[in-house]
Amino acid sequence: MPAASPFVSDIPAAQAMQAWREACAAAGCPERVPAVQVPVGEAVGRVTAEPVWAHRSSPAFDSAGMDGIAVRAAETVGATETTPVLLSAEAFEVVDTGDPMPPGYDAVVMREHVHRTADGQAELRAAVPPYQHVRSIGEDISATELLLPEGHRLRPVDVAACAAAGATELLVRRRPAVVVIPTGDEIRPVGTEPRPGEILDTNSLMLAAQAREAGCTAAVTPIVPDDPDLITAALREAAVDADLVILVAGSSAGRDDYTARVVAAAGTLAVHGVAVRPGHPVVLGAVAGPAGTPVIGVPGYPVSAALTFDIFAAPLLSALEGAAPRERPSTTARLARKLASVIGSDDWVRVRLGRVGGQVVATPLPRGAGVLTSLVRADGLLVVPAGVEGHHAGAEVRVELLRGLGEIGNTIVAIGSHDLVLDVAASELRATDPLHTLASSNVGSLGGLVALRDGLCHLAGSHLLDPATGEYTLPYVDRILGDDSGIAVVRLVHRDQGLLVAPGNPLGLTGIDDLTRPGLRYVNRQRGAGTRVLLDHELARRGIDPAEVSGYPREEHTHLAVAAAIAAGRADTGMGILAAARAFGLDFVPVAREPYDLVMRTSVLDDELLAPLWELLERPDFQNGVEKLGGYSCAETGRRIR
Amino acid sequence: MPAASPFVSDIPAAQAMQAWREACAAAGCPERVPAVQVPVGEAVGRVTAEPVWAHRSSPAFDSAGMDGIAVRAAETVGATETTPVLLSAEAFEVVDTGDPMPPGYDAVVMREHVHRTADGQAELRAAVPPYQHVRSIGEDISATELLLPEGHRLRPVDVAACAAAGATELLVRRRPAVVVIPTGDEIRPVGTEPRPGEILDTNSLMLAAQAREAGCTAAVTPIVPDDPDLITAALREAAVDADLVILVAGSSAGRDDYTARVVAAAGTLAVHGVAVRPGHPVVLGAVAGPAGTPVIGVPGYPVSAALTFDIFAAPLLSALEGAAPRERPSTTARLARKLASVIGSDDWVRVRLGRVGGQVVATPLPRGAGVLTSLVRADGLLVVPAGVEGHHAGAEVRVELLRGLGEIGNTIVAIGSHDLVLDVAASELRATDPLHTLASSNVGSLGGLVALRDGLCHLAGSHLLDPATGEYTLPYVDRILGDDSGIAVVRLVHRDQGLLVAPGNPLGLTGIDDLTRPGLRYVNRQRGAGTRVLLDHELARRGIDPAEVSGYPREEHTHLAVAAAIAAGRADTGMGILAAARAFGLDFVPVAREPYDLVMRTSVLDDELLAPLWELLERPDFQNGVEKLGGYSCAETGRRIR
């Protein structure tokens, strides 16, 4: 996204919101949606459009607060263990909890404290004060009192109280109506098979769902091609019945300009460009008409679309209902790694959270506006404000929560090299018990061991070969974590590493020796990745200088990124695992079989959080499933090697 | 509710939940509701019944990440400000963000960094690395990767990602079906006019709404009379199609026994009575049948009904969906006053929260199981565990939040004497801006000044007369808050105090002098209440000994409670304000006109939190509205008297 596009400004979010509201007011947009009368039973989730005053007291009569007998307190005076008082059958009445108090009686004695004599008298061994166990008229609600203010979003207890106070209908705000207009020549409806260059309209699906979650009704129009006249017409038509129109641009900036121009043509363009990333090229304005309709143009990148809805559309919709905006809870967390941020924009960073050693640790996820999975996987959102350059590793930061802290506390945090078997394990754990989550972040084997050293994860996934000894994992554990007897290592799996090649292996590669072929385009893994160490080892033992491998300096950070580069024809080969080849329909030339290990503190090994994982690794059905993936052996799965 | 009823046990909540689950399993209740296939667009809010693996990579092709030109990075080597590189029209292609990368090109230069010459060449003043501004195939989602685990409640971003990964339908859990059966001879449907002794069925309304909020479908059967055979038949019928049946007892304990007996007769009674208040007499079990159906019998007191749903039904329903239970966020707060709790039961205390002087302060609300408004007004729930006797005033406690902390921070906290004008002001503030909340707790005038001294509120509402000087409020401020120049006092209103009497004033009371009539039943206010001080003053200046007033020792804590006692015929008269008389349809004999003042720290006076209140007090429409209530004068409203 352009840092300072000549066409798009960088208005701070709060200022943009203010400008939008002012433009809406100037265009005659209603401040609130109209009020409607609904039966109390259907009012949950809606917002009160007037205060609710009690018409009736509740309870509406004095009643017994216990099962027992109704008495006159004055007649019990003097009763003790040694001098009980006897009440004749005419001097009391049996009552159950909730029964109206019989006239003339002013207290209740619990049945457990009453001895009934054979002739029907009641023997009391203690005096009772007036009004004991009597539930007073109006104890809960007094007629004429204020039950709920205007602008209150009704919960189940609220409607029950309103009904108890005599309400059968409530005046609430109509749900705001949101219309989503997808635009773009390359956009295709969800459910169709997109051709190369085409993109499925997942944004409309998401934005309509966000609107419904915000308590609105939502409709999506057919996709409008990249034609300003057609978009203007669609906008004008949608504005007639909508309380908010969302124009979804394709991801092209040419399109963003359409949106701004279209909004200007149809009414008022208040804002084009905000100091928020992702989400920068948002458009805010109002459509002219008898009453005016707010419009937001959200960028086509899915993270931008989702966040700009949250930041701008959601507060506007709350205001239309006259309700306080919904809030996400927040917590403080320690940042797992350094976080750089560009000065001048609020940076919305998605983070994974886990509780490690008693504190919440936040690991930033990929930052791209197009990486929707960064929102899917996020446990929280961290805003680096416009004036801050970023945070150091270990810094305490405030995080808005997208998952509950309890759930986060039940999450096994794995950082390091990533392997598909971790995904399979995560999925199986969850199927066994929805409270068990295994979250893994990919930073390479070496990065994982460093994260473990710094107390940022429970498990580090590692497959690092020590070329000197030919041994895996353990030498690096000593090197990075010290000669620490408090470290345990459990073998997860053995897996095949090999060369990923285009389908049919068009260059006929047979192994490492072929990598020196002139003109071959190799794609490498980053330093610290186990696969990189393996390649270096394989080259070294053949006496091949890395400089002879064309493409050696070109680094990708995951097996899948290597596979993607080959699938896209940007490279001829790279080292990776069979699962990565399969993901992109590539062929695979095996090179070596290596162990993949889980490294942890011994205290974690015995933690009940991990117990379900150790049980899972022993299960034959799990091991069979893993071996069926291809390229894996479970011969040593679950074995503690240190 | 009985402390230790002989019929009801006191099983700890966790143990009761465990016993219920075991009984359900033994009765053959399904562990999960069945899975159903739904279109992605309709899957939001549902729980995945299988892991979601990506079928397709997203993006599905390499694309331009910026608007600009696609180039071959190798051809830009050497370009600098002083030695630009010129690319001929054949050596680049114009691309917009999102466009597929043209074959052969491997980088994008932003249009802002390209100078186009008159003859169509592109001049570059910097070299670009390969893959600059290229969005890679699979950057967001790689085919075959695990997108979502089983047991995940789908959010808008999740379904968008699933759709992008090629899913058009998702396998999710069917919504659990809940059937609510109201029981009780005295229970009447909401919408009918209850006769004395009858109670509206607000519990079913609330429980069905709670079930829907928990993601279920909910149905309510007709009200079943107090007949075990009829209840058993209704339970068996409801169990056929339900995933959970909720039996709602009236508030009589005889009814609770019915429920337990009925559940035992229809299947298995697992639990009758838990160590939770309110909610103690809950019944947990399973109905026998081809598959078995869980059943919960909730007590008839509304707070008990709402809380036992939260504590027992909600986790069971989450488990049926295979999802993690929903969590409430929590915070720490300082307790505004001492909180006693009975050992042996988890005590669920409803609290009001406010941010005063930088910290969150929790004020306990009425504890009765029948006081639903205590849940309506609650900002949080505080659990005093079974083993704890309570907390001291000022203790730091953990509170589950029912409102967002941001909203709570926008709340003006008033503690002290209560007056209807505060309710009117609260309502008006909210109507003006849904972010403004004024929450008032009634502890009497003196209690309010003590709370202000202890930093527990922003405002103390006070109408205390100093008999020695005839002056209101100020002498008490000096006495309790010291000769503190940091205290401000603002007059809210003048109001009439008088004797509340039954309609038509059957005893023909004319004023204070009549209170010594033999046999007259007076109902008094508690010590520390301004109204009590006023009575004492009026008696003293007439030389009347309080002992001459029959009923003088009998204390109620609010104007409305005094009015309720008179309305119920439990007393003949008591002192109070006209609004209280009107609430219960009583007559009113004026005695005195008194000021009602707001006391606060001067720092709070200038706080922007309070500014909207000061503006409101000046508004003529507000003052007119108050005077129309009757018994009020706004002649000095808003005047600062100190």
Q: What are phi and psi of A109, to 5 degrees?
A: -110, 130
Flag if A144 and B168 touch (Cβ within 8 Å): no
- As a whole number of angstroms, the distance between CA B431 and CA B448 comes to 26
Instruction: Give A-chain residues touching B579 at CB under 8 angstroms.
Output: 144
Share of chain B above pLDDT 70, in %: 97
Flag if A424 and B250 touch (Cβ within 8 Å): no
Count CB neighbours of A388 within 10 A: 13
Report the 3 state secondary structure along A339-396. Answer: EECCCCCEEEEEEEEEEECCEEEEEECCCCCCCCHHHHCCCEEEEECCCCCEECCCCE
- As a whole number of angstroms, the distance between CA A585 and CA A570 comes to 15
Flag if A139 and B560 touch (Cβ within 8 Å): no
Residue-wise pLDDT tens digits, A94-146: 998 878 889 888 889 988 888 888 888 999 988 888 778 888 888 888 887 88
| B-chain residue closest to A566, CA distance | B137
- Cα A619 to Cα A521, A597, B504, distances in angstroms: 42, 18, 82
Alpha-carbon Rg for chain A, nearest whole angstrom, is 34
Alpha carbons within 13 A on the beta-carbon side of B511: 8
pLDDT of residue B484: 67
CB B161 within 8 A of CB A373: yes
| A-chain residue closest to B203, CA distance | A160
| A-chain residue closest to B321, CA distance | A434
DSSP state of B88: -
Terminal Cα-to-Cα distance of chain A (whole angstroms) = 48
The distance of A316 to chain B (nearest Cα, Å) reads 12
Residue-wise pLDDT tens digits, B224-243: 998 999 999 999 999 999 99
The partner residue sitting opposite A197, judged by closest CB among B61, B147, B437, is B61
The distance of A508 to chain B (nearest Cα, Å) reads 22
| Angle between helix B530-541 and helix B444-453 axes, rounded to 10 deg | 130
- As a whole number of angstroms, the distance between CA B307 and CA B314 comes to 10
SS3 A12: coil
Q: How many CB pairs under 8 A join A and B?
A: 371
CB B114 within 8 A of CB B125: no
The distance of B148 to chain A (nearest Cα, Å) reads 8
Report the 3 state secondary structure along B348-389. Answer: EEEEEEEEECCEEEEEECCCCCCCCHHHHCCCEEEEECCCCC
Flag if A373 and B206 touch (Cβ within 8 Å): no
CB B66 within 8 A of CB B133: yes
Instruction: Tell me which residue of A257, A237, A241, A240 sits closest to A249, measured CA to CA.
Output: A257
Structure-model confidence comparison of residues A137 and A206, the more confident one: A206
Flag if B434 and A112 touch (Cβ within 8 Å): no
pLDDT of residue A474: 92
- As a whole number of angstroms, the distance between CA A66 and CA A111 comes to 8
Structure tokens at A527: 């330093």
Residue A343 has pLDDT above 50, yes or no: yes
The distance of B352 to chain A (nearest Cα, Å) reads 15
DSSP state of B312: I
Mean pLDDT computed over A362-375:
89
| A-chain residue closest to B250, CA distance | A98
pLDDT of residue B1: 31
Flag if B146 and A427 touch (Cβ within 8 Å): yes
Instruction: Give A-chain residues touching B323 at CB under 8 angstroms.
Output: 434
SS3 A483: coil
Residue A6 has pLDDT above 80, yes or no: no
The partner residue sitting opposite A160, judged by closest CB among B61, B197, B205, is B205
| B-chain residue closest to A439, CA distance | B149
Flag if B140 and A371 touch (Cβ within 8 Å): yes
Q: How confident is the model at residue A10 (pLDDT cuts 50, 70, 90)?
A: confident
Flag if A150 and B427 touch (Cβ within 8 Å): yes
Beta bridge partners of A332: A398
Residue-wise pLDDT tens digits, B564-580: 889 888 899 999 999 88
Mean pLDDT computed over B541-554:
92
Residue A306 has pLDDT above 60, yes or no: yes
User: E-strand spans in A483-603?
Assistant: 487-501, 524-525, 555-556, 573-577, 587-601
pLDDT of residue A307: 97
The partner residue sitting opposite A159, judged by closest CB among B40, B159, B206, is B206
Residue in this structure with the two tokens 């007094």, named with its chain if needed: A142
Q: Which amino acid is at B582?
A: R
Q: How confident is the model at residue B255 (pLDDT cuts 50, 70, 90)?
A: low
Alpha-carbon Rg for chain B, nearest whole angstrom, is 34
The partner residue sitting opposite B62, judged by closest CB among A65, A406, A568, is A568
Give the best residue of A430, A628, A629 to mutate against chain B (max B CB count within 10 A): A430
Q: How confident is the model at residue B2 (pLDDT cuts 50, 70, 90)?
A: very low
The partner residue sitting opposite A140, judged by closest CB among B51, B138, B373, is B373
Flag if B372 and A570 touch (Cβ within 8 Å): no
Q: How confident is the model at residue B588 (pLDDT cuts 50, 70, 90)?
A: very high
Residue-wise pLDDT tens digits, B342-365: 889 999 999 999 999 889 999 898
Flag if B322 and A434 touch (Cβ within 8 Å): yes
Count CB neighbours of A635 within 10 A: 11
CB B108 within 8 A of CB B134: yes
pLDDT of residue A256: 55
Mean pLDDT computed over B552-571:
87
Flag if A157 and B59 touch (Cβ within 8 Å): no
Q: Which amino acid is at A405?
A: L
Residue A4 has pLDDT above 50, yes or no: no
- As a whole number of angstroms, the distance between CA B115 and CA B138 comes to 32
pLDDT of residue A5: 40
Beta bridge partners of A340: A390
Flag if B584 and A5 touch (Cβ within 8 Å): no
Residue-wise pLDDT tens digits, A160-191: 999 999 999 999 999 999 999 999 988 999 99
Residue-wise pLDDT tens digits, A612-642: 999 999 999 999 999 998 899 999 999 999 8
Structure tokens at B408: 């709570």
Flag if A41 and B329 touch (Cβ within 8 Å): no
Share of chain A above pLDDT 70, in %: 97
> H helices of A468-588, where?
474-481, 530-541, 559-567, 578-583
SS3 A125: coil
Instruction: Give B-chain residues touching A202 at CB under 8 angstroms.
Output: 160-161, 163-164
- As a whole number of angstroms, the distance between CA A484 and CA A466 comes to 18
Instruction: Give A-chain residues touching B58 at CB under 8 angstroms.
Output: 372
pLDDT of residue A271: 94
User: Residues near A82 by Cβ (< 8 Å), separated by ≥ 6?
Assistant: none
User: Residues near A441 by Cβ (< 8 Å), separated by ≥ 6?
Assistant: A352, A363, A365, A413, A414, A415, A418
Tell me the domains of chain B and their CATH numbers: 13-32+175-321 (3.40.980.10), 39-55+144-173 (3.90.105.10), 63-135 (2.170.190.11), 328-409 (2.40.340.10), 450-633 (3.40.190.10)
Instruction: Give B-chain residues touching A208 at CB under 8 angstroms.
Output: 41
CB B98 within 8 A of CB B133: no
Instruction: Tell me which residue of A127, A140, A146 sits closest to A75, measured CA to CA.
Output: A127
Residue A251 has pLDDT above 90, yes or no: no
| Angle between helix A202-213 and helix B156-164 axes, rounded to 10 deg | 170
SS3 A492: strand
Structure tokens at A58: 């509740």
Flag if A156 and B40 touch (Cβ within 8 Å): no
The distance of A639 to chain B (nearest Cα, Å) reads 25
The distance of B467 to chain A (nearest Cα, Å) reads 31
pLDDT of residue A88: 93
- pTM, rounded to two decimals: 0.90
Residue B100 has pLDDT above 50, yes or no: yes
Count CB neighbours of B35 within 10 A: 17
Flag if B324 and A404 touch (Cβ within 8 Å): yes
The partner residue sitting opposite B560, judged by closest CB among A142, A405, A406, is A142
Least confident segment among A583-592, B175-184, B554-563: B554-563
The partner residue sitting opposite B151, judged by closest CB among A324, A370, A430, is A430
Mean pLDDT computed over B435-448:
87
Give the best residue of A42, A53, A55, A157 to mutate against chain B (max B CB count within 10 A): A157
Flag if A427 and B150 touch (Cβ within 8 Å): yes
Question: Exposed, middle or buried, A265 (CB in 10 Å: 0-12/13-18/19+)?
Answer: middle
- Average pLDDT, whole number, for chain A? 91
Write b or e for each residue in A75-98: b if 16 or more Cβ atoms lie within 10 A of its Cβ, otherwise e: bbeebeeeeebebeeebbbebbbb
